[in-house]
Amino acid sequence: MSLSPDNDGLNKAVQEPGIVLTPQQKKSRDHRNLAIALAVGFFVLLIYVVTIAKLGPGVLTHPAE
């Protein structure tokens, strides 16, 4: 006797391959992901550079001095 009446349905769901991307869809997704990664990386770099530029020479001054 099965503990869950849905076991058969669950097994079927596990066996189904789900959504399979075509090579073109997968390639487009990879390119989009790469573009997002580069954009986020560039944004982080921009904020870093702007922060340093705003601090100016004061970035090298120790607070205790």
Residue of 22, 4, 1 lying closest to 13 (CA atoms): 4
Considering only 3, 14, 19, 64, the residue that binds another protein (CB under 8 A) is 19
Residue 26 CA to residue 22 CA, distance in Å, equals 6
Q: Among residue numbers 34 through 53, which ones bind another protein (CB under 8 A)? A: 34-35, 43, 46-47, 49-50, 53
Q: Which residues contact 21 (CB under 8 A, 6 or more apart)?
A: 29
The residues that touch another protein, with contacts defined as CB under 8 A, are 5-6, 8-9, 19, 21, 24-25, 28-29, 31-32, 34-35, 43, 46-47, 49-50, 53-54
